[in-house]
Amino acid sequence: MLSRKDKEVYKAQEYVERMKLIRTIIVLIAALVLIIGGLLIALRIANTRNKEPEPTLTSSTINQQLVSCSTLTTAELTYNGLVRFSEGDIPFINQNSFSMIYTATAKAGIDVSQAETTVTDTDIIVILPACEVQEINVDSDSLEFFDERTSIFNPSKKTDVVTAINYAEDDVEAKADLDGLIDRAKSQTELIVKGLIEPISEGRNIIIHYEDSSDAILIY
């Protein structure tokens, strides 16, 4: 049989071994917690990096949508005119003259790439450049000449025709209703710009005005 002293020694050894086992278990648990925590943090960082940001409407987005149109022609006018042309001052010697009827088209619109936009929580404000006449084109096939008079020293009709077309362009600028053409171009431009922006407006009001006017057009 073990003596009392031996029993006490045995109990002490048993207690030491038990404490060692407990410390080992605590260390293992702590290490496991650290490993799991590290994995969770790594997964959260990875998900944050891979998550695509939600789209946000900005002025840049609107500008890109408008620039896709570049130069925008929104109104056209057909004009029939009469031009009387004469050059030189001595009949039959150096004077050429004729009358001409013609058909021309004039186009008006804007350069959309010059538009400026501002986006707020409630509104999209678009400042458009002034509408202007972009082109006047005289249809050469429509030219009809009468009362033609040529001269000895200036017989070429080719030069006369080229000059007559220039006269016709000047005639359009002076007599055609270009102001009305520009007004129609403005109205059409507003509708087109609204159509481009509305699908991405996210419910905002669309406010349009021109650089040459203080009147704003509010489009809901």
The 10s digit of each residue's pLDDT in 34-59 is 777 767 777 776 665 555 544 466 66
Report residue 71's pLDDT band, with 50, 70 and 90 as the boundaries: confident
Q: Measuring CA to CA, which residue among 164, 172, 163 is closest to residue 145? A: 164
d(CA 79, CA 170): 12
Query: Which contacts of 151-154 are long-range, i.e. CB under 8 A and separated by 24 or more positions?
Result: 151/88, 151/90, 151/91, 151/92, 151/93, 151/94, 151/95, 151/96, 152/92, 152/93, 152/94, 153/93, 153/94, 154/87, 154/88, 154/94, 154/95, 154/96
Q: Which pLDDT score, from 0 to 100, does residue 59 have?
A: 66
pLDDT digit string, tens, across residues 119-167:
888 998 989 888 899 999 999 888 888 765 554 444 445 456 787 788 8
Q: Are 188 and 74 in contact (CB under 8 A)?
A: yes
Tokens 């702590």 appear where? 30
Is 80 exceeded by the pLDDT of residue 217?
Answer: no
Higher pLDDT, 119 or 218: 119
Mean pLDDT of 74-86: 86
Report residue 25's pLDDT band, with 50, 70 and 90 as the boundaries: confident
Is 90 exceeded by the pLDDT of residue 190?
Answer: no
The winner for highest mean pLDDT among 13-27, 41-55, 150-164, 181-195 is 181-195
Q: Are 168 and 81 in contact (CB under 8 A)?
A: yes
Average pLDDT of the residues of the chain: 75
Is 50 exceeded by the pLDDT of residue 218?
Answer: no
The winner for highest mean pLDDT among 53-57, 84-88, 112-116 is 112-116
